[in-house]
């Protein structure tokens, strides 16, 4: 790599395993399918968000911040990971959550409470229409109370957070090289976009032309992601003067797996959770990985994926949502 990686905190358990799903392959009747187990970045810190937070929180701590403020739904994996990092480092987490969670905390929200995060709840419409003002007010209030807050956007999908998956691509490429795999398709869920943006930039930066990266949207349409992820990639290239040429044509999406909306389940996704659990003893989450894995299953079943080249799925975590 021709560019200096920013400072990072070692929060995740790395490298995560890359495993072949042989029993699943037999059940599917062919195809070579690998799973990059980023659900194993930690227990409390499980999933993709901790890779981004390693860089974002390193910057916050270096700047002398004592409070991390972020946002998400009440089952946000990102909020839970931020709360766990704060507990570990002695920082205060302030989570702006919507909508109002049920009285009895469950899943990720239960963990937010256990980790000692300050949880502030908002009505969804009120939050979405007044986001900027609400965030400004919270930061101003914390400052006037003598705290030094650092705002982290949804999913830690900001230029500094992209380094998590820039780095993860080097890790994955090393594992593939050892296995003698020089070309493959890599599939991952996409929502706030920092994971896919980081992966794209990482593949360009590390010159991994054998990796074809596919994002599977689970919340918004492709036009939205082309705009948002394109913008995030360009901001990251600019902030860190990355010696690469990013264009919109670097992005590849597999559309059609959102269903009726973000976190709204559908039968094929529920079946995918059961299939992986039964054949491999591995658990997906219902919001991100189960839906994105449906794209892989369809591709393997109709021969587009896993035949000419192996296919790697990034298990981005989210297990606690099964208990919400």
Ligand X SMILES: *Cc1c(COP(=O)(O)O)cnc(C)c1O
- Nearest distance from residue 313's CB to ligand X, in Å? 11
The answer to whether 313 contacts ligand X (rule: CB under 6 A) is no
- Count of residues of this chain found to bind ligand X when the rule CB under 6 A is applied: 21
Residue nearer to ligand X on the CB measure, 82 or 289 = 289
Residue range at the interface with ligand X (CB under 6 A); choices 13-21, 41-49, 99-107, 206-214: 41-49
Find the binder of ligand X among 70, 73, 82, 157 (CB under 6 A): 157
CA 134 – CA 130 distance, rounded (Å): 6
Residue 135 CB coordination number (10 Å): 17
- Nearest distance from residue 64's CB to ligand X, in Å? 27
CA 137 – CA 122 distance, rounded (Å): 14
Burial of residue 63 (CB within 10 Å: 0-12, 13-18, 19+) is: exposed
| Residue 237 backbone class (left: φ over 0; alpha: ψ -120 to 50; beta: rest) | alpha
CA 306 – CA 253 distance, rounded (Å): 17
SS3 2: coil
Which residue's CB comes closest to ligand X?
A: 318
Residue nearer to ligand X on the CB measure, 67 or 195 = 195
Q: Which of residues 158-197 bind ligand X (CB under 6 A)?
A: 189-196
Q: Is 76 a catalytic residue?
A: yes
Burial 217-236 (b: 16+ CB within 10 A, else e): bbbbebeebeebbbebbeeb
Structure tokens at 220: 């918004």
CA 37 – CA 267 distance, rounded (Å): 24
The answer to whether 324 contacts ligand X (rule: CB under 6 A) is no
The answer to whether 77 contacts ligand X (rule: CB under 6 A) is yes
The answer to whether 48 contacts ligand X (rule: CB under 6 A) is yes
Element counts in the chain: helices (H) and strands (E): 10, 9
Residue range at the interface with ligand X (CB under 6 A); choices 57-65, 92-100, 109-117, 282-290: 282-290
The candidate with the shortest Cα–Cα distance to 252, out of 181, 197, 313, is 197
Residue nearer to ligand X on the CB measure, 67 or 77 = 77
Residue range at the interface with ligand X (CB under 6 A); choices 6-14, 19-27, 172-180, 311-319: 311-319
The answer to whether 202 contacts ligand X (rule: CB under 6 A) is no
The answer to whether 107 contacts ligand X (rule: CB under 6 A) is no
Residue nearer to ligand X on the CB measure, 142 or 165 = 165
Residues that bind ligand X (CB under 6 A): 47-49, 77-78, 155, 157, 189-196, 285, 288-289, 316-318
Report, as residue numbers or ranges, the catalytic residues. 76
């Amino acid at each position: 790599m021709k560019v200096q990686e920013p400072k990072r905190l070692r929060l995740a358990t790395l490298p995560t395993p890359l495993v072949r799903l042989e029993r699943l392959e037999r059940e599917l009747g062919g195809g070579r399918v690998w799973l990059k187990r980023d659900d194993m970045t930690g227990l409390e810190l499980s999933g993709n968000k901790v890779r981004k937070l390693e860089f974002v929180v390193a910057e916050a701590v270096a700047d002398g911040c004592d409070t991390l403020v972020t946002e998400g739904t009440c089952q946000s994996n990102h909020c839970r990971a931020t709360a766990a990092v704060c507990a570990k480092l002695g920082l205060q987490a302030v989570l702006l959550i919507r909508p109002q969670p049920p009285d009895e905390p469950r899943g990720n929200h239960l963990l937010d409470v256990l980790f000692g995060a300050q949880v502030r709840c908002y009505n969804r419409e009120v939050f979405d229409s007044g986001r900027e003002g609400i965030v400004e007010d919270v930061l101003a209030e914390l400052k006037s109370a003598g705290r030094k807050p650092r705002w982290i956007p949804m999913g830690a999908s900001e230029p500094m957070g992209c380094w998590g998956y820039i780095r993860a691509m080097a890790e994955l490429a090393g594992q593939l090289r050892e296995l003698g795999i020089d070309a493959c398709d890599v599939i991952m869920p996409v929502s706030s976009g920092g994971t896919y943006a980081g992966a794209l930039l990482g593949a360009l930066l590390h010159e991994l032309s054998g990796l074809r990266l596919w994002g599977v949207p689970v919340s918004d349409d492709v036009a939205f992601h082309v705009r948002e992820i394109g913008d995030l990639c360009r901001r990251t290239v600019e902030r860190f003067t990355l010696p690469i040429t990013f264009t919109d044509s670097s992005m590849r999406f597999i559309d059609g797996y959102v269903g009726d909306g973000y976190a709204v389940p559908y039968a094929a996704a529920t079946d995918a959770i059961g299939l992986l659990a039964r054949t491999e003893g591995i658990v997906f989450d219902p919001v991100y990985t189960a839906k994105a894995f449906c794209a892989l299953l369809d591709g393997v079943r109709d021969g587009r994926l896993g035949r000419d080249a192996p296919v790697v799925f990034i298990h981005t975590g989210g297990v606690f949502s099964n208990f919400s």
